[in-house]
């Protein structure tokens, strides 16, 4: 789906992700953003050039949005029901490899690429949560996870499935241009289309470079190993073809596993011995 939101956009993904979070107030406010998204919040506070939107009770849950990106505010009278979060499954390294292999096969992507994305996103920490609210191995924002049907982003299998499916969608959107797809995964498709490529954000450029470098390193190592194995096989074949045949030995006639001397050869040797003896015995002239 080309309208899917990015995983970690500075404004857009946070906007939709936080807008879908339940709030405890009977009538919360909605911040209307210039990009068309909204953020539900209980209260707000201007901090410098940003507006801090508090999304839950207390002061710890908030998101800072540039004030210039906010067009206005309105009341939100809807009361979304808080979803129950299923328990988190613990996954070993071996199980995770199996999950990545299985999911990669489903979406026809290289498992090495998915592992490189996971390394950059969470460092293989299935309980990782970013300051922007991205969760799990592939750092799914709540809004993105919801659109992907991921009920529990902290579940490793569900998280990898959702993140891999989303990356596949981005690759199809950008004609399998990996650099653009990774940039969209990090900064959002809107920013990629705005700048017609990788946005000029230090975080996004470092993110894309890290994944591409790690993925290329794996592919180069695999190619070298395959080339070395192929060369060794060729050398073995050449050695087997050019090796001289072994000496041929004439086996004596055998009967029932026992050796029988060659009678003709023995008689010939005996006759030669007698002739030599007679020659030596005759007087010399």
Catalytic residues: 121
Which of 61, 29, 182, 177 lies closest to 114, judged by CA? Answer: 182
Rounded to 5 degrees, what angle do the CA atoms 243, 244, 245 make? 115
Q: What angle do helix axes 156-173 and 178-187 make, rounded to 10 degrees?
A: 120
Q: How many CB atoms lie within 10 A of CB 135?
A: 23
In whole angstroms, what is the distance from residue 9 CA to residue 144 CA? 11
């Amino acid at each position: 789906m080309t309208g899917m939101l990015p995983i970690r956009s500075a404004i857009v993904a946070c906007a939709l992700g936080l807008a879908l979070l339940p709030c405890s107030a009977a009538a919360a406010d909605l911040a209307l953003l210039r990009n068309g998204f909204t953020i539900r919040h209980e209260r707000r506070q201007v901090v410098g050039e940003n507006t801090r939107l508090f999304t839950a009770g207390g002061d710890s849950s908030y998101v800072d949005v540039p004030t210039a990106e906010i067009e206005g505010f309105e009341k939100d009278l809807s009361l979304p029901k808080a979803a129950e979060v299923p328990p988190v499954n613990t996954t070993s390294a071996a199980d995770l490899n199996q999950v990545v292999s299985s999911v990669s096969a489903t979406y026809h992507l290289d498992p090495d690429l998915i592992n490189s994305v996971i390394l950059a996103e969470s460092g293989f920490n299935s309980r990782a949560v970013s300051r922007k609210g991205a969760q799990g191995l592939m750092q799914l924002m709540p809004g993105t996870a919801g659109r992907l049907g991921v009920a529990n982003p902290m579940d490793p299998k569900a998280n990898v499935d959702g993140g891999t499916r989303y990356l596949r969608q981005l690759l199809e959107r950008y004609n399998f241009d990996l650099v653009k797809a990774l940039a969209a995964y990090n900064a959002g498709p809107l920013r990629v289309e705005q700048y017609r490529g990788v946005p000029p954000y230090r975080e996004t450029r470092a993110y894309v470079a890290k994944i591409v470098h790690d993925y290329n390193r794996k592919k180069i190592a695999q190619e070298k190993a395959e080339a070395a194995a192929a060369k060794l096989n060729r050398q073995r074949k050449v050695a087997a073809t050019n090796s001289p045949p072994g000496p041929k030995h004439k086996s004596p006639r055998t009967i029932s596993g026992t050796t029988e001397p060659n009678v003709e050869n023995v008689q010939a040797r005996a006759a030669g011995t007698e002739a030599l003896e007679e020659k030596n015995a005759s007087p010399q002239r």
